[in-house]
Structure 1
Amino acid sequence: MGRWSSGRGPLYVLLAGRLRRLIDDGELPPGVLLPPDRALAGALAVGRTTVVAAYELLRSEGRITRRQGSGTRVAGAPSASGVEDAPVDPIFLDSLEARDDDVLLAICAAPGDPPPQVAEAYARIVPELAQISGDIGYYPYGHLVLRQAIAARYVDRGVPTSPDQILVTNGGQQALSLLAHALLSPGDQVLVEAPTYPGALEALREEAAVLRGLPVGLEGFEAAVRERRPALAYVIPTHHNPTGAVLPSLARQRLARLAAATDVPLVEDEVPADLGFPGSPRPRPLAACSDAVISIGSLSKSVWGGLRIGWIRAAAPLITRLARVRAVHDLGGNVPAQLAAAHLVANLDALDLATELKARHDHLRALLAEHLPTWEVPTIRGGQCLWVRLPHGDGNSFAQTALRHGLAILPGSGLDVTGSSDAYVRLHFRARPEQLTEAVTRLTTAWHAYHPPANRVTPRPAIAI
């Protein structure tokens, strides 16, 4: 192999990025033994410290394990100690596709039943489709009708917005990926909450960013900016995923203004913002406080994931830049879906999500209190999941036990770049009541059979949405 060129970013970040892609693409499958530090350094004609730093970055992400006597291996295979690591599946296909076995999937927090308004919206657009003429249907920015509907919703919430400030995407995940690709270079530092939405962590890591965790709400933002000089910050201020926290009004204003003053692009994830319980006040978006805020939204959690409609709200020049990036990979989204989504966005508040969400939340919380009373289950005002602290053990090893009892859950370590959430698991309440009841039955059986390992391992688990 030839001598490496530094290109963009520190050399160790580029090396980690190359190895990360090989692991994620399956070219380096679980269990493969990687070259020793000195051997790889010699093959690449780089210093040993570069290889060590790259390996440590991948180890912190859970993609590899490094143990004295057994070398450096891709995570996911039985180790020398006999403890089995959790499988690495960054694309989270297993948690999105239906399974043939009897395993209940409690990982993907999205509504499983599209509301009747989805079918009604599609029925309404049939005459519109019949009248289309002379239109090739490519809209890299998104269909104007939907962009107008999204802009109008921001205006109604106190955020002056024009359609040229909106880019329609194929879901919120594509919105995150586009922003990460456009705004980050390898080695750039990004401030994220710890814990946070794991799909965002994957999108940022895909660009070889270095992630720095702060408490929920990005507490300590100002000091971190001075110390780290980040290229980007990411926050979920309303019904935070996974804790359900809501950032207070004054804290919102201060965070938005600090981002503007320090010239740090602040990405506000508003995907869970429509998931408040009855009577819960809905705070104004961070974008109402500063033009420096970039907002992303989606219908995946409020309507149905299969609709694949998301968006970015930002300054018009950035929207133009993002549309150019998007057009390289995707000339535009599904036009019928966008026309139907325009009707749904305009009537989103009439869907009455709050009552059903609260009922399912209360059902799950009551079952946990009855059957697993030693678990710490917080009180929340909205959202889609519970951030549960286990009384002993760790989320990774318990998730393996739960899987053996027919339930797939999300361990907390995969949501926290600081490594401080090993004792947590995330449980969502978007399933039907009978499914939640069965899930708690399996959780209880698994908990009674659970024995924490003597030698804990904390690989990065499969991510979920």
Structure 2
Amino acid sequence: MARVNLVSARALDLMLDSWRGAGATPAYEALADRIRLLILDGRIGLGTRLPAERDLAAQLGVSRTTVTAAYAELREKNYLSSVRGSGSVARQPHGAGIPAETVASGLLDFSKASMPALPELAAAAVAAAEQLPAYFGDSGFDPVGIPVLRQAIADRYTARGLPTEPDQIMVTLGAQHAIALLARTLIARGDRALVETPSYPHAMEALKSAGARLVPVPVTTHDGWDQEALEQTIQRTSPSIGYLMPDFHNPTGQTMPAALRERTLDLAAQHGTTLIADETMAELDIDATERMLPFAAYGAAGAQAILVGSVGKTVWGGVRIGWIRADRSVIARLVRARSSGDLGTPALEQLIVAHLLGDYDAILESRRRLLTTGRDFLQAQLAEKLPEWEVPRVAGGLTTWVNLGAPVSSQLTLAARNEGLQIAAGPRFGIDGAFERFLRIPISYPEAETVRAVDALAAAWRSVGRLDLAESGWLAEIV
């Protein structure tokens, strides 16, 4: 029998942080709206069983009638289904809760930090298809990667300042596959895993799925990494692994200084911590004053640093090619563990990427120009239409981490969805409901879509932000 995921009343209470609506909004409607957002945002996974009505009511300090009415509204809108013996189970119907005109015109999705497909991709696919028959004599099951691509990736690391051999590379089905494979190979249930907060939510999910206990370290748009907290966390908890995004951190856009990289790697070596550096955006600098070496290049002898990369952010998300750069012994472990999840990476996509890496510097330069335009245009739009928001000027990457000035990110996200925009609320990137003051906005979308997104956010801010803030006393503080 398949195991049903459960969310306890206490865990749901933490995710529901500040759920009560302002003004005349009935409590059951405010509760239903917040649970709906958690489902839409992925913080409550599909198929997850919610706590019993009595348990949740006791945890929230409300009447059972309030919870019963909230669950009933969610069932009516097809966000919950009732299964005998399984209670109330989360689901996500297509188009539910969105005005009909929005469904017809299409929901603009700003929940993903991505760029349009690379214009050169079609030509690369044609060239790869012409090369493919040379591989028909093989089985096609490739757990480690074709030699030509592993060599190209190794050469790229070497050119960036980290000498690398092809047998230190494993090709994966994108960066997320690489992170999940590393997590289930290197983590034993109950191990501690250091993570940044905020951070990439799917990485945290992969770590938790492998049984890790997450140990957070703060990263902010103003100060970057809290060095004291980072040092103390490693020294006091000796985590078995740490997941970091040191270059154009998602979502804050910060880059870790060289001195802190060296210090972090040295501490990790002393305490037996293997660091995983997600470098999927490492080369997407816009106007950074210094291009950093690959993270592992800063470590002394004995430091265990594993690098994860992909072309999902630079070429196109539809090309599912990523890689892991690690010691040969780690690569051997990963090869042995991989077959339980998949049997290898498609040869055609590997050939496409090998072809593109031959001209990668020019590709990156074109992407940097696109991001420069996108960042500057988004900043101008937000300054014009939402001047009270604090918008940092990022030096690279794909996102900006906007401070709304008040803890209304989840409410704003729900209202924006009704305006035709899907965007992830700040708590999606945290642990236990943190970051209600923040919203991650991609800088990589075309200008027409950016205008539409900012207009939707401005309308949502008027309908939810200003009304609720005025009644709760926040508006005077931020305007």
**TMscore range, shorter length:** 0.7 to 0.9
Out of 402, 414, 421, the residue aligned to residue 428 of structure 2 is 414
Contact 1:70 1:80 in 2 (8 A): no
1:198 to 198, 201, 205: 201
Count of residues in correspondence between the two structures? 402
Query: Does the residue aligned with 2:144 lie in a helix, a strand or coil?
Result: coil
Q: Which residue of 2 aligns with 1:252?
A: 261
Write the distance in 1 (CA, Å) between the matches of 2:245 and 2:308. Answer: 10
Q: Which has the higher contact order (CA 8 A, sep 6+)?
A: 1
Equivalent in the alignment of 1:33: 52
1:169 aligned to 157, 160, 172, which one? Answer: 172
1:313-324 correspondence runs (5 A): 313-324=325-336
Q: Counterparts of 2:92 and 2:254 in 1: how far apart (Å)?
A: 25
Task: Work out whether residues 143 and 335 of structure 1, in 8 Å CA contact, stay in contact via their aligned partners in 2.
Answer: yes
TM-score under structure 1 length normalisation:
0.78
Question: In the aligned structure 2, how far is the partner of 1:431 from the partner of 1:272?
Answer: 16
**Are residue 78 (structure 1) and residue 99 (structure 2) matched?**
no
In structure 1, the partner of 2:346 is 334
Distance 1:379 1:77, change over 3 A: farther
1:109 to 94, 108, 113: 113
Residue of 65, 68, 74 corresponding to 2:61: 68
SS across alignment from 1:410 = coil
Distance between the aligned counterparts of 2:142 and 2:58, measured in 1? 44
Change (3 A) 1:94 1:289: farther
The TM-score normalised by the length of structure 2 is: 0.76
Rounded to whole Å, the distance in 2 between the matches of 1:109 and 1:81 is 32
* Alignment partner of 2:212 out of 206, 209, 214: 209
* Structure 2: distance between partners of 1:341 and 1:192: 30
Distance in structure 1 (CA, Å) of the matches to 2:46 and 2:336: 26
Task: Identify which of 377, 395, 408 aligns with 1:363.
Answer: 377
List alignment gaps of at least 5 residues for structure 2.
1-9, 12-43, 81-88, 96-101, 220-224, 473-479
Q: Which residue of 2 aligns with 1:43?
A: none
Supply the distance in 1 between the matched residues of 2:149 and 2:281 (Cα, whole angstroms): 20
- What is the Cα deviation at residue 418 of structure 1? 6.3
2:357 matches 1:345: yes
Correspondence 1:295 to 2:293? no
Kindly report which structure 2 residues correspond to 1:118-133, keeping only aligned pairs within 5 A, or say none. 118-133=121-136
Residues 24 and 35 from structure 1, CA distance in 2 versus in 1: closer, same or farther, beyond 3 angstroms? Answer: farther
The code of the aligned residue for 2:163 comes to: P
What is the CA–CA distance in structure 2 between the aligned matches of 1:153 and 1:126, rounded to whole Å?
Answer: 23
The verdict on how the C-alpha distance between 1:420 and 1:328 changes in structure 2, with shifts beyond 3 A counting, is closer
Aligned residue in 2 for 1:384: 398
8 Å CA contact retained: 1:191, 1:213: yes
Alpha carbons 1:147, 1:168 under 8 Å: kept? yes
Give, as a single letter, the amino acid of the residue that structure 1 aligns with 2:392: P
**2:293 matched residue in structure 1:** 284
Q: Could you say if the C-alpha distance between residues 25 and 81 of structure 1 is closer, same or farther in structure 2, counting changes exceeding 3 Å?
A: closer
Please give the per-residue CA displacement for 1:182-221, whole angstroms capped at 9, x wherever unaligned: 1112222111111111111111121232112112236322
User: Residues 282 and 389 from structure 1, CA distance in 2 versus in 1: closer, same or farther, beyond 3 angstroms?
Assistant: same
Offset at residue 341 of structure 1 (A): 0.6
Q: Distance in 2 between matches of 1:116 and 1:244?
A: 26
CA distance in 1: counterparts of 2:438 and 2:421, whole angstroms: 16
Q: How far is the alpha carbon of 1:226 from its aligned partner?
A: 2.7
Percent identity for Structure 1 against Structure 2: 36
How far, CA to CA, are the matches of 1:436 and 1:231 in structure 2? Answer: 41
Offset at residue 313 of structure 1 (A): 0.7
Shift of 1:331: 1.1
- 2:113 partner amino acid: A
Secondary structure in 2 aligned to 1:329? coil
- 1:183 and 2:186 matched: yes
Amino acid paired to 2:404: L
Letter of the aligned partner of 2:419 in structure 1? Answer: H
Aligned mates of 1:34, 1:322 — CA distance in 2 = 43
> Distance between the aligned counterparts of 1:340 and 1:305, measured in 2?
13
Aligned 8 A contact 2:235 2:267 in 1: no
CA 77–152 in structure 1, closer or farther in 2 if over 3 Å, else same: farther
Q: Equivalences for 1:36-51 in 2 at 5 Å? A: none
Q: Compare 354-363 and 397-406 and name the one that shifted more.
A: 397-406
Q: Distance in 2 between matches of 1:110 and 1:300?
A: 8
Q: CA deviation at 1:152?
A: 0.7
* TM-superposed deviation, 1:267: 0.6
Q: How far 1:132 sits from its partner (Å)?
A: 3.2
Quote the Cα distance in structure 1 between the aligned partners of 2:339 and 2:230. 34
CA distance, structure 1, for counterparts of residue 251 and residue 395 of structure 2: 13
Counterpart AA for 2:357: V
Counterpart Cα distance in 2 of 1:293 and 1:440: 39
Q: Is 1:325 paired with 2:329?
A: no
Q: 1:174 to 1:100 in 2, by over 3 A?
A: farther
How far apart are the structure 1 equivalents of 2:378 and 2:426? 19
Tell whether the 8 Å contact from 1:278 to 1:355 is kept in structure 2 after alignment.
no
Measured at CA, do residues 271 and 134 of structure 1 come closer, stay the same or move farther in structure 2, by a change above 3 Å?
same
* Residues 238 and 272, structure 2, Cα contact 8 Å, conserved in 1: no
Shift of 1:246: 0.9
Identify which range, 427-436 or 390-399, moves more after superposition: 390-399
8 A contact 2:47–2:90 mirrored in 1: no
| Aligned mates of 1:360, 1:422 — CA distance in 2 | 25
CA distance in 2, matches of 1:366, 1:92: 35
Tell whether 2:323 aligns with 1:307: no
Describe the superposition over 1:230-283 as per-residue Cα deviations: whole angstroms up to 9, x where unpaired.
121111111110010011111111111211222100010101112111464320
Quick one: which of 149, 153, 177 aligns to 2:152?
149
| One-letter code aligned to 1:68 | G
| Counterpart-to-counterpart distance in 1, 2:58 and 2:123 | 51
For residues 429 and 377 of structure 1, the distance between their equivalents in structure 2, rounded to whole angstroms, comes to 12
Secondary structure in 2 matching 1:245:
coil
Distance 2:249 2:93 in 1: 24
**Relative to structure 1, is the Cα distance of residues 312 and 371 closer, same or farther in structure 2, using a 3 angstrom cutoff?**
same
Partner deviation per Cα, 1:405-457 (whole Å, 9 max, x = no partner): 111111111211265411101110221111001111111111111144889xx
